[in-house]
Amino acid sequence: MISIEEALSIILQETQVLEGEEKNILSCLNKVLEEDIYSKDNLPPFDKSAMDGYAIKSEDTNLCKDAVSVQFEIIGLLKAGAFSSEELKHGQAFKIMTGAPLLKGADAVIQIENVNVNDDKLYVHEKVKSGNNVIKFGEEVKVGEVALAKGIVIRPSEIGVLASLGYSSIRVHRDPVISLLITGDELVDINSELKMGKIRNSNEYSLMALVKNLGAEVLSFGVIEDNKDILKNKVKEALEKSDIVITSGGASVGDFDFVEQVLKEINADVKFKSVAIKPGKPISFAIVDKKLFFSLPGNPLAAITTFEEFVRPACEKMLGKEVVCDNTFEVILCNDFKAKEGRKKYIYVNIKNVDGKFYAYKIGSQSSNHLITMSKANGIIIMPEGVGYKKAGDILNGKFIFK
Amino acid sequence: MISIEEALSIILQETQVLEGEEKNILSCLNKVLEEDIYSKDNLPPFDKSAMDGYAIKSEDTNLCKDAVSVQFEIIGLLKAGAFSSEELKHGQAFKIMTGAPLLKGADAVIQIENVNVNDDKLYVHEKVKSGNNVIKFGEEVKVGEVALAKGIVIRPSEIGVLASLGYSSIRVHRDPVISLLITGDELVDINSELKMGKIRNSNEYSLMALVKNLGAEVLSFGVIEDNKDILKNKVKEALEKSDIVITSGGASVGDFDFVEQVLKEINADVKFKSVAIKPGKPISFAIVDKKLFFSLPGNPLAAITTFEEFVRPACEKMLGKEVVCDNTFEVILCNDFKAKEGRKKYIYVNIKNVDGKFYAYKIGSQSSNHLITMSKANGIIIMPEGVGYKKAGDILNGKFIFK
């Protein structure tokens, strides 16, 4: 049995960032850029007006002071999307809309709200600086510059940058494909009535949801009969079709737990077979043909806990994302908490943030590891190895779940 | 011009939570439950073993102490999914796998790791309590109890609970449909070369990404010609087909800004026409036939900023989610920051969290509101109205973006 930290370090060492693939930009949302994006244009591609107003020569306003206004002759109108090859002369003004290119001879724009107009005469009452309300050619980015650097996560703002630069598709690290194989002869379909000895298959659904939340692709093989050869064939098929294979159940020491035997028969390189975590001890991890294999416990709470603790970081690394190994913080206990000594215990709780301090409240029995308990929780507190009791007011490390 | 807070309060007052619709549970991930979910079963549906081990009568172990072991006769094997109608007698043990139903007469399970077995003889070395390693009938939830309450967000754990209770579909608040109409004759398609006066349409893409991130449905009308009648017809069509209509551009005081005229002609109830926020002042909000209409600025940074500040909360309320109106926290400035006095200014920065304190670093020119600047930011700091300068070491409120 190894520690959580050792287990995670082994998993990450064996995990490779996946190669890039070209996708249309909207499909790249929340993915990681696999190439530097160079600008093929100067942005803006011309000096342009930042406001609706009048393009003028700024030096013509030098005479403005106190109550003295300067008069201009309005000689034309330029809307966004249009351009003019005329050259502005002293005393002339050109009405110009936001985004329109500044015409030759003009070096400033005065805002429409700050002037008076009478027929084709413009009256300016204030001194205007050169460059006023003008966005300069190439000010945002120049041809050949790196606009977006390899490794960043594509957010709505980056989608906008890519569109403005004319990139309709880019290369991002591809999504891992994760296969799910659920074992357990006690499991019946979600739509079945419960007969004696049977419970419904819930792990397939919660694991599919966990994979979906990570932005990875899920390939579910459904419930596999408790039969070694059938399981072996499905595992082989899953290994061919995916980057990560997950089994749930069939991993403890029961007579009908075949996962370990199957791993032996397919010459898997088993890296560990149990971790000092509660819930979740009987989790094993192996490498087969460079693919990652996780055997998660069948207990629903343990399956979700170990997925989040061990599969998620591997998946994030594959996606090219930054893997945060320790996102815990100090939490003040508001109840007494008890747990069996031994393994590190993850206790599901309700964490409240009050004025920047975090407080943990008990939400129900932990011992039976009910999913309904978890559904009332937004976080966990971690009872260290060898500690079995903490009282209200004590401090433990904790973290939020599903974040 | 009204304040950001007033604007948000008006928007939320006019926004209704959307009705529920039935969906399969995996499609409900991250949606809000619109009904109470009652349990149709007792879970577990029988007393069951929490471990691989041996079912026994606990009182038979009363004689165990120090080096004294008690011997049992192993009379059968029960795997998960099976059941036995036999009744256990004193001195008998039944091998039992995790999840299998306890048989009559047994009241405890002793773990396989803690015993010795020789042929059909079991040797127990410790006193076992009644109920040891037994998960009791109905312990997690009983028939008729509320298992999941209306209003909660469906996470992977809730998907698991629903599956275990036999719910393959449930009612969640439906997704809002958001129409996008992009205006501006200066805009050309993403794949076009830039001709004089033209820039590429980026707002359509960044707004689509923003809507996608919220889990709402987007209906894009693309770039609409700067022509009042065409715009009016498209706005009418969009209002029929969606819950929220967004235009970008066409909203300031330029001669070719038709949105305001269109709103007048269709008898929109315009609630406000500008907000004291920078970037983003020329944002207007109206109600037409109970639909929400947002006219966002055409400037890409202003469009994204106002979407996040005003459209997102409306969308979250429609989805039945909790709307957090103030998610700011104190940020220590690491550079001097300057801005025009007047409106409340959102300055895009890089916020670092060091030992629980937040620090803001400048990332580039703000004045020109470049999207590339935003792509380097992970947060904003907020320069209050009437304040134009803050120096390194000063504190401002700030928040993370896209969270």
SS3 assignment for A259-321: HHHHHHHCCCEEEECCECEECCCCCEEEEECCEEEEEECCCHHHHHHHHHHHHHHHHHHHCCC
Contact at CB, A209 and B79, closer than 8 angstroms? no
Domains within chain B, CATH numbers bracketed:
4-17+175-318 (3.40.980.10), 20-43+140-173 (3.90.105.10), 48-135 (2.170.190.11), 329-400 (2.40.340.10)
Quote ipTM for the complex. Answer: 0.92
Nearest-angstrom CA–CA distance, A223 and A298: 12
pLDDT of A274 above 80: yes
Cα diameter, chain B: 98
Q: In this complex, is the C-beta atom of B252 within 8 Å of any C-beta atom belonging to chain A?
A: yes
Q: What percent of chain A has pLDDT over 90?
A: 75
Residue A402, helix vs strand vs coil:
coil
**B206 interface with A at CB cutoff 8 Å:** yes
Inter-chain contact B213–A29, Cβ cutoff 8 Å? yes
Q: Tell me, yes or no, if A135 comes closer than 8 A to chain B by beta carbon.
A: yes
Distance to chain B for A39, nearest Cα, Å: 11
Min Cα distance B151 → chain A (Å) is 12
What is the pLDDT averaged over residues B157-169?
Answer: 97
B235 pLDDT band, cuts 50/70/90, is: very high
Name the pLDDT band for A150 (thresholds 50, 70, 90).
very high
Q: What sign has the CA pseudo-torsion A12, A14, A19, A24?
A: negative
Peptide bond into B313 cis (omega under 30): no
Residues 310-339 of A with CB under 8 A from B: 329
Residue B398 is predicted with a pLDDT of: 97
Report CA-CA distances (Å) from B375 to A135, A161, B351. Answer: 19, 8, 13
User: Which of A258, A189, A190, A270 shows the shortest CA–CA distance to A230?
Assistant: A258
List of chain B residues whose C-beta atoms are within 8 Å of the C-beta of residue A163? 190, 200-202, 204-206
Residue A39 scores a pLDDT above 90:
yes
pLDDT at A256 over 70: no
Out of A159, A204, A365, closest to residue B209 by CB: A159
Q: How confident is the model over B207-228, as a mean pLDDT?
A: 95
The DSSP line for B97-118 is -TTPBPPBT--EEEEGGGEEEE
SS3 call for A323? coil
Q: B190 vs chain A: nearest CA distance in angstroms?
A: 5
CB-based contacts of B27, cutoff 8 Å, min separation 6: none
- Please classify residue B150 by burial: count the beta carbons closer than 10 Å to its beta carbon, then call 0-12 exposed, 13-18 middle and 19+ buried: middle
Q: Name the pLDDT band for A316 (thresholds 50, 70, 90).
A: very high
Is some CB atom of chain B closer than 8 A to the CB atom of A79? yes
Interval A344-359 mean pLDDT = 92
Contacts of B117 in chain A (CB under 8 A): none
Decide if pLDDT at A255 tops 70: no
Contact flag B196-A356 (C-beta cutoff 8 Å): no
Range list of H helices, B142-267: 156-164, 203-214, 228-241, 259-265
For residue range A87-125, what is the model confidence (pLDDT) as tens digits? 999 999 999 988 899 999 999 999 998 999 999 999 999
Q: State the amino acid at position B399 in one-letter form.
A: K
Q: What percentage of chain A exceeds 70 in pLDDT?
A: 97
The tokens for B274 are 């500008």
State the pLDDT at residue B369: 61
Average pLDDT value over all residues in chain A: 92
Sign of the four-CA dihedral A51, A55, A59, A60: negative
Among chain A residues, the shortest Cα distance to B200 is held by A164
Three-state secondary structure along B359-381? EEEECCCCCCCCHHHHCCCCEEE
How far apart, in whole angstroms, are the C-alpha atoms of residue A53 and residue A74? 11
pLDDT tens digits for range A119-145: 999 999 999 999 999 999 999 899 999
**Interchain proximity B298–A99, CB inside 8 Å:** yes
Distance separating alpha carbons of residues B139 and A92, to the nearest angstrom: 85
Relative to beta strand A291-296, strand A284-288 is: antiparallel
At B210, the amino acid letter reads L
For residue B365, the tally of other CB atoms under 10 A from its CB is 12
Residues A203-215 have pLDDT tens digits of 999 999 999 999 9
**Over 80: is that where the pLDDT of A367 sits?**
no
The pLDDT score that the predictor gives to residue B184 is 85
Q: Considering only the beta carbons, identify the residue of B30, B164, B192 that sits closest to A200.
A: B164
pTM over 0.90: yes
If you average pLDDT over residues A372-394, what whole number do you get?
93
| pLDDT category of residue B367 using cuts at 50, 70 and 90 | low
Helix (H, G, I), strand (E, B) or coil at A232: helix
Position A65 scores a pLDDT of 77
**Are A197 and B165 in contact (CB < 8 Å)?**
no
B-chain residues within 8 Å CB-CB of A306?
A: none
Residues 100-119 on A with a CB inside 8 Å of B are 100-101, 112-113
Q: What is the mean pLDDT of residues B309-326?
A: 94
Residue B25 touches chain A, beta carbons under 8 Å: yes
CA-CA-CA-CA torsion sign (B236, B238, B244, B247)? negative
CA A248 to chain CA centroid, Å, is 26
Enumerate the β-bridge partners of residue B43: B141
Smallest CA–CA distance, residue A164 to chain B, in Å, is 5
**pLDDT band at B254, cuts 50/70/90?**
low
Would you state the structure tokens that stand for residue B354, as one six-digit string?
Answer: 């060091």
Please tell me the predicted confidence (pLDDT) of residue A204. 97
